[in-house]
Structure 1
């Protein structure tokens, strides 16, 4: 499994669409379990006993019904559900790093390297002829751009596009509202080499995950000023570069349709059209059963049970690169780390996991690490003792912090201990998780209110600006560990939405992204994780299974393993 790069906001299976990507991580809603991020779905209620079910291991190789591209028939229209309609299609912009957006952008934009089914980054030869380190000290990467590569408006892709993206995302100009400067802020210069198709990137400090940068790449014509960068792709997709191009973006109907781009220079895509449809809650399950869409996430008990015996359906499953979690914020009452630490003991993570997966017939276990997934070689369970379920310990921490418990709700200096949990409306699983947490916190004298907000503005209006006390969504990995650094950084331009961190953690983050040796880096990442637990930053729940119910005729798509990218050129229908 590739390294977990914290959020790419996942699919409705794991908390799917609250996708937030972490600047190369995406958050997703918890819909089946957020996959990074925004998809929640209905499950059995936390208080009901669930029947015993035989659990099957998830295949780390995934299940995409592979077929050689040459054998995939030409034609067909694929109808694809989304958890929400993204409001910004610039992946580097603060509101743009969502999993739903990333799924579509993989068809209409280009990355320098793509993550394969084996979890390893591979040079994207549609965009680049080569990308090599021509110097180690300082680190210098030279990119040779494919001579045929052009934007959808016919303008050649050149070094100017790389330079514009670095200028926008390196964090030196705060007018660019970026999601995360990691990697770009390590670069000292980006210049044209021998010709416009030659790019020379010189690093001021080493960056081990340099292959993660300039992905996806955006045109200089659209991002060269802060205003253009921030708003040019807001509810619009003006210029693309990929096997597909935008046909129509309909914010009222909440749909996006893409068709093959006649300017595309690579292998022609197999499909004639892909229509993406944003559907709230479990409406996607109904749509699938009514043959209105061709696949659906089925990563929670209720969703799986509704779909498992559907006619003409394959169930494809794999371990995903996302994890569901509860996020804390320091913007309100939870600025007191003692309260956050108490909440970590008061919340029973296993009961939340049961809500998420219940009788789902696939093996899952609690995740004890913020950096690594259970399938990563660097994984160590660092959750104990900071997140041991221990209501008595929670009560003692609160009492020592001055919160007395004479009534049903503790108080201090005349104020009650009241916390809110912000969740997207219409997502049953999110609501069920909130209710479970509400009951558990009541047991230790904490009053939790549940604040349901519009699903499409959940990230942009609440999570990204940190306007919450607690929330629940999923982070989706991107295949690079450095992509997750932003989630724990105190830098204002980061994906640390709760603004919880320390200077010591910042220092370690700055060091670890420079370490090329995997074992040494893994050890430091685990040191960071231990400190993150101690701070009460967030509560990981489970590594989300990616479970897809799908038309059996669909080939080269389904349950991708880990952070594997979608090769939209070869997705199609068998005869």
Structure 2
């Protein structure tokens, strides 16, 4: 899937990439009312929360100060080091032929397109674009076929001098030519391409795409020519800011704001910057959201477009306003004038199972892991405290509301410990086994030796045992005060399933877990609720096979922003322990987490996120393609970091991408998803929460969910107007 907020590209920065514009297939076949089952795609679980307002209600002018993770290294979204801020700038300054509405469905962007459709299928697919006659670049030149052609040549993959990160779709184009007039562009495909709407979004001017030098270097630090409601005025790397100003050549609705300042602010500093009045908009973690929510009274709920269920107006489980602590009272004063806008990101967190080697190379063991997990419980752990719909994700390839979505998790089945244990037994993993026998022999030998040592040796053993018990009690006390002991702070590793349950037993409540989930940071993961008990039930006897115990390496990032991710890993470890699987949870640095462990296959279990694309036939294929040997003897996994793939899944993707009938293409994608579930290489868990702190006077900004932001409509309410209530803010 194209880059967004997760790990589709190698390296740690890949976890925070943004996806290019998402759209769906074409040539929809209308269904006769009453003659078919309900659409399995359903509706988005949560709508946008952007404080919508009509343009007449918004004041002219003003500067919106918007926190971002970093000033981007490049302004070219097609380069490997492009990030979320690169995409945000492109959305505000460059053409996009299609964009997503609030319900996650694609729509033609009328600012640039009068129409776009397939006009021929035989002998070859031809798409005709009719451009808005007012669409011009900021230098006055009309947007036209020359720009489309330059972008195709740069991204086709035929010229290695262009340092491109992706060329999917462009490599299927045979030629691009002018249509009947300057406003028409004819694109002829050498091979059918169902996801043609994914192309030319964004569209760069020919001055950027025309030569390798301008592509590789010219657009990294500046955009001389743009064609959006805003233009890049300045990139200040000293002050970590990007300044966007109104584009005087913009032909659409005049932007309400004079300027947008994108300022790089670390996530752990954003609450302070908001309180100091230095920001108007910032994505924040759950702890900061709770503090800010105390300052804003709950707003009434209104229907949320495209959402299947309303989002709770509860202010993030904040305490009773009549029992505020002095610190909370101070926060109410500091954050007055701000509120939290919340939705669900168009991405999901998954549990990845490395099938390349080790126990998980056996599909039966992977399926057993799947059957041991209560995905609904994990979704509630993350989303319920935030007042967001807590439903497990049922597809690898789309999210609820998107055209290709269907809950195919039935292909693997729900939680069933007996079935999990039966699968493990079938794979040869049995309780105790040779390992247990060796343990008994060792204990017997140790007992004989102790007897020979006499009374003094026995007393020494008792003293050591007493000291050990004392240490355990001390550890438990410490666990009660702080949560577990920093998850193996000494060496970064601890085992779920050892006799010492200080790292994950029934006594650890959600309040303890919440201590570990204070900050989401940039890493994908979860938030821990208060007062939620850890899963109950007895642990199963550890399993062994051929003299080796069934122990899985669970790798998690160690950064301050990843406590919540480790909380989810800990809960999963407890669930696996119930069927006899031990997990060794190891913390590694954020910098090496993805590059040195996930991408290189140095893990058994891991948590990271993927975006949900409206082009799954294109974007998801490299994630689930069957790994193949490379020329140098290594294994080419593309983006399939679980190393699990099948020929059948590959064939279904190939058929879906070459099928121009939207209904048939969706059916093929759903079949592919069922096969992916059955292979159990990865298990989707929950949609990621999206929490945005916003000044209450801002409108048409906040938690965008699926929707592409409309930058010209962003602004500040006129002083005589009150903020508009929205569905999903508490």
TM-score normalized with structure 1 length: 0.77
Task: Report the 3-state secondary structure (helix = DSSP H, G, I; strand = E; otherwise coil) of the residue aligned with 1:74.
Answer: coil
1:110 paired to 2:110: no
Instruction: Tell me what 1:538 maps to.
Output: 682
Q: Distance in 2 between matches of 1:227 and 1:343?
A: 49
Is the 1:22–1:495 contact (alpha carbons within 8 Å) kept by the matching residues of 2? no
Q: 1:247 and 1:59, CA in 2 relative to 1: closer, same or farther beyond 3 A? A: same
| Cα deviation 1:205-246 (Å, max 9, x = unaligned) | 333332221101123333345665455555665654322222
1:372 aligns with 2:398: yes
Q: Indicate conservation of the 8 Å contact 2:193/2:658, yes or no.
A: yes
Q: Indicate yes or no: 2:680 matched with 1:512.
A: no
- Contact 1:6 1:481 survives alignment (8 Å): no
CA distance in 1, matches of 2:187, 2:701: 34
Which region of structure 1 is more displaced relative to structure 2, 395-404 or 112-121? 395-404
| CA–CA distance in structure 2, aligned partners of residues 472 and 253 of structure 1 | 34
Distance 1:150 1:72 in 2: 26
Distance 1:134 1:257 in 2: 41
Give the corresponding residue for 2:151.
Answer: 165
> 1:563 is matched with which residue?
706
Report how far residue 317 of structure 1 moved: 4.0
- Does structure 1 conserve the Cα–Cα contact (< 8 Å) formed by 2:105 and 2:403? no
- Residues 444-455 of structure 1 aligned to structure 2 (within 5 Å): 444-454=581-591
Query: Which ranges in structure 2 are unaligned for 5 or more consecutive residues?
Result: 7-12, 24-42, 296-335, 437-497, 499-541, 628-635, 719-730
Could you say what the CA RMSD is over the residues aligned between the two structures, in angstroms?
4.1
| Among candidates 370, 373, 379, match of residue 344 of structure 1 | 370
CA distance in 1, matches of 2:571, 2:161: 41
C-alpha change, 1:59 and 1:324, in structure 2 (3 Å) is closer
Distance 1:251 1:476 in 2: 29
Pair 465,148 (structure 1): closer, same or farther in 2 beyond 3 Å: farther
Q: Distance in 1 between matches of 2:56 and 2:609?
A: 36
User: Structure 2: how far apart are the matches of 1:458 and 1:90?
Assistant: 26
- Kept in 2, the 8 Å contact 1:7–1:477? The answer is no
Larger radius of gyration: 2
Q: Classify 1:355/1:277 alpha carbon distance in 2 versus 1 (closer, same or farther; 3 Å).
A: farther
Tell me, in whole angstroms, the C-alpha distance in 2 between the residues paired with 1:468 and 1:295.
37
CA distance in 1, matches of 2:386, 2:613: 25
Correspondence 1:6-45 to 2 at 5 A: 8-9=4-5, 18-21=15-18
Question: Matched residue of 1:429: which SS?
Answer: helix
Distance 1:535 1:117, change over 3 A: same
User: Is residue 463–residue 497 contact of structure 1 (8 Å, CA) maintained in 2?
Assistant: yes
Q: In the superposition, relative to structure 1, how do residues 63 and 281 fare at CA in structure 2: closer, same or farther (>3 Å)?
A: closer
SS in 1 for 2:669: helix
Counterpart for residue 550 of structure 1: 694
Q: Secondary structure, in 3 states, of the residue corresponding to 1:307?
A: helix
Q: Which stretch shifts more, 485-494 or 316-325?
A: 485-494
Q: Measured at CA, do residues 527 and 123 of structure 1 come closer, stay the same or move farther in structure 2, by a change above 3 Å?
A: closer
Residues 76, 273 of structure 1: 8 Å contact kept: yes
Residues 328, 559 of structure 1: alpha-carbon distance in 2 compared, 3 angstrom cutoff: same
- Paired residue for 2:526? none
Alpha-carbon shift at residue 294 of structure 1 (Å): 1.7
The answer to whether the Cα contact below 8 Å between 2:411 and 2:677 also exists between their aligned partners in 1 is no
Q: Per the alignment, in what secondary structure is the counterpart of residue 305 of structure 1? A: helix
Q: Counterparts of 2:356 and 2:665 in 1: how far apart (Å)?
A: 31
SS in 1 for 2:126: strand
Q: Would the alpha carbon gap of residues 215 and 79 (structure 1) be closer, same or farther in structure 2, given more than 3 Å must change?
A: same
Give the equivalent residue in structure 1 for 2:274: 288
Superposed, 1:87-102 pairs within 5 Å as 87-96=73-82, 98-102=83-87
Note if 1:306 corresponds to 2:297: no
Q: Which moved more, 1:534-543 or 1:321-330?
A: 321-330
Offset at residue 321 of structure 1 (A): 2.8
Distance 1:490 1:287, change over 3 A: farther
Secondary structure at the aligned position of 2:233 is classed as strand
After superposing the two structures, state which structure 1 stretch, 239-248 or 548-557, moved more. 239-248
Checking the alignment, whether the CA contact within 8 Å between 1:280 and 1:426 is kept in structure 2 is no
3-state SS of 1:359 partner:
helix
By relative contact order (CA 8 Å, sep 6+), the higher-ranking structure is 1
Higher strand share: 1
Query: Could you tell me how far apart the structure 1 residues matched to 2:601 and 2:149 are?
Result: 31
Q: CA deviation at 1:509?
A: 0.9
| CA offset digits 1:451-488 (Å, max 9, x no partner) | 2314xx97788767878765434333454454543333
Change in Cα spacing, 1:482 to 1:347, as seen in structure 2 (3 Å) is same
Instruction: Note if contact 2:100-2:706 (Cα within 8 Å) is conserved in structure 1.
Output: yes
1:326–1:539 contact (8 Å) kept in structure 2: yes
Which of 506, 511, 525 lines up with 2:669 in the alignment?
A: 525
Give the C-alpha shift of residue 200 in structure 1: 1.3
Q: Secondary structure, in 3 states, of the residue corresponding to 2:560?
A: coil
Counterpart position of 2:559: 425
Q: Distance in 1 between matches of 2:650 and 2:64?
A: 44
Equivalent-residue separation in structure 2 for 1:435 and 1:130 (angstroms): 51
